[in-house]
A and B are shown apart, each in its own frame.
Chain A
Amino acid sequence: MRTPVAERAKGWARRAPLLPALVFLIVVTQLPFVATVVISFMRWNALAPDHRGFAALDNYRAVVTDPALRSSVGTTVLLTASVVLVSLGLGLGLALLLDRSFRGRGIVRTLLITPFLVVPVAAALLWKHALYNASYGLFNGALTWLWQLFGAGDPPQPDWMTDSPLLSVELSLIWQWTPFMMLILLAGLQSRPADAVEAARMDGAGAFDVFRHLTLPHLRRYLELAALLGTVYIVQNFDAVFTLTSGGLGTANLPYTIYQTFYQAHDYGRASAQGVVVVLCSLLVANFALRTVSSLLREEITR
């Protein structure tokens, strides 16, 4: 006979393996955020410790009226959207190329995933100094070499980082994240049931029809997932902005702006208010994104 006590014990036995991870995450990620909310209502600058006190909504007023923060919101959106969309598109193209068999496919895949495996700071240093540099970077060096090859003088030597700073940051991030997208989509392609494609081919469907009506619907969940994970990581990108431009010339995104308010201006109150605003915006996006993910889970059988 099952008593309520035994039932409850069984319930806890089921839940027990879950608890350490859950408690750990709540303590390390949720509690600090609660503290951030509290500090956001305080007047607290580490350089003026005597002035600490309750500030009501002052910090939020400052945040909302701060043009620098407003522009960094725009930068974050632009940076994230462009990097995710372009690397997703390129990743899809590359995954389709690699899904066919050809000589040296394994080598090409290895070559393609390399950018994802380079430490982001190292990659940013590489792009800034070895590739973009106006006087000895590889890009301008290649232009010089090409012009010399055709016997022309005066090759164009654009200053990539000053002429188009945001584009420079975006390009380096696209280079790093395309392989990540490709890996997810390639796995998606390889899990595609081969017999359906075969049957469609037999029925006379062309390559484009197969792609449009079989491959794309199958890939949908993988595309959504790649976009979601890419967005989560690129919204929070700090390394590239910090290393390439130090947030100069309109490339400061939200993480970098908060870092500056906190680490350089030592304005704890305002940095916290910025953090809270960012989290509120993220929750809006996350709510939408999680709904997308729930479509990933919906078809699954509950055990």
Chain B
Amino acid sequence: MTRGDRRGGRRVRGAALGLVAWLCGIAFFLPVAWMVLTSFHRETDAATDPPSLAAPLTLHGYREFFGVGGAGVSPWPPLLNSLTASVASTLLVLVLAVPAAYALSLRPVRSWRDVLFFFLSTKMLPLVAGLLPIYLVAQNTRMLDDIWLLVILYTSMNLPIAVWMMRSFLAEVPVEILEAASIDGAGLPTTLVRIVAPVALPGIAATALISFIFSWNELLFARVLTGIVAGTSPVFLTGLVTSQGLFLAKVCAAATVVSLPVLVAGFAAQDKLVQGLSLGAVK
């Protein structure tokens, strides 16, 4: 076999593997594409066998979802609740996690490994095991059906992973530079702003995104601890089907709308996401 043959063979193999990758990508994406397509169909076209690909497109499902087309509960309060819970808890996570990660990476306290293990081990306890006391306390302090209760719980849910991710991002800051800065007489604020922040910011962004996604998605706590006032979008979604039969197009429209913020954020920041998940974990 000549060198040219081998290179040609490799090119064919590379193209074939690229094709396989494309097919896998399409296969994984297909259910989401189907969800979006169905959301634009009329109810009669949404539920047919075989599926109707060429059916006319309409905004009917979305109008139904937003309550324009008829009776129905408005989806705005749950969407707003989800936004409040996710953004507020993400901010709180960052406020708590960044200093902790700093203490664990750049100026490590003694036995920092044990502390890090403790943080991670709180993730190993199934959330559901603490649910009942939290419910009882909330009942007695009138925090039931209050979105701020979810903010606190989501913060505790995401804090361990956030500390874990942030610590590794901060560990990327070379010690020599920190030492050089302190020899040059830079104080702590200057060091933080000038040296640590530029390295840590992408990490903070990735951490915030992960925290936002997990809060936005959470169902169990929201279902048990909220009701009419503070229900979040996932709770609202589960209520769509049980009420009066199934309206597939409307359900697909709802699923699309509720997923949209995470989809947009995730697509926009996918590089950060890859980096954050890996670095956060291994380095």
- Are A18 and B31 in touch, CB under 8 angstroms? no
Is B241 on the interface with A (CB-CB < 8 A)? yes
Could you say which residues of chain B place their CB within 8 Å of the CB of A129? 241, 246, 248, 251
B219 touches A18 (CB 8 A): no
Question: Is B47 an interface position by the 8 A CB rule?
Answer: yes
Residues on A with C-beta less than 8 A from B137 are 32
Q: Are A21 and B163 in contact, CB atoms less than 8 angstroms apart?
A: yes
The answer to whether A268 touches B31, judged by C-beta atoms less than 8 angstroms apart, is no
Q: Measured between alpha carbons, how far is A272 from B35 in the docked complex, in Å?
A: 39
A185 to B: closest C-beta gap in Å: 9
Contact residues in B for A121 (Cβ distance below 8 Å): 217, 219, 234, 237-238, 258
Residue of A nearest to B247 (CB): A129
Which of B31, B127, B136, B217 makes the CB contact (< 8 A) with A236? B127
- The chain A residue with its CB closest to the CB of B160 is A25
Residues of A within 8 A of B156 (CB): 24-25, 28-29
Cβ contacts B61-78/A at 8 Å (1 or 0 each): 000000000000000000
A interface residue numbers (CB < 8 A to B): 14-18, 20-22, 24-25, 28-33, 35-36, 39, 94, 97-98, 100, 102-105, 107-123, 125-127, 129-131, 133, 135-136, 138, 140-142, 144-145, 148, 175, 178-180, 183-184, 186-188, 190-191, 221-222, 225, 229, 232, 235-236, 238-239, 242-243, 254-255, 258-259, 262-263, 268, 271-272, 275-276, 278-279, 282-283, 285-286, 289-290, 293-294, 296-297, 300, 302-303
CB neighbours of B105 from chain A (8 A): 303
Which residues on the A side are within 8 Å of B267 (C-beta)? 110, 117
Q: List 9 A-B contacts (CB under 8 A).
A: A18-B104, A28-B153, A33-B129, A135-B47, A142-B50, A144-B49, A225-B282, A239-B217, A239-B219
Name the one of B134, B155, B259 contacting A122, with C-beta atoms under 8 angstroms.
B259
B123 proximal to A (CB < 8 A): yes
B126 near A115: Cβ-Cβ < 8 Å: no
Q: Does B56 count as interface, using CB distance less than 8 angstroms?
A: no
Residue among A29, A136, A297 having the largest count of chain B Cβ atoms under 10 Å: A29
Is there contact, CB below 8 Å, between A285 and B103?
no
* Cβ contact within 8 Å between A130 and B34: yes
Considering only residues 224-246 of chain B, those with a C-beta below 8 Å from chain A are 224, 233-234, 237-238, 240-241, 246
Question: Are A103 and B31 in contact, CB atoms less than 8 angstroms apart?
Answer: no
Cβ contact within 8 Å between B130 and A33: yes
CA distance A255 to B129 in the complex (A): 8
Find the A residue at minimum CB distance from B93.
Answer: A21
Q: CA separation between A300 and B175, bound complex, in Å?
A: 14
Q: How far is the CB of A120 from chain B (nearest CB, A)?
A: 5
Question: Do B126 and A282 touch across chains, with their CB atoms under 8 A apart?
Answer: yes
Residues of A with C-beta under 8 A to B104: 18
Residues of B within 8 A of A110 (CB): 267, 270
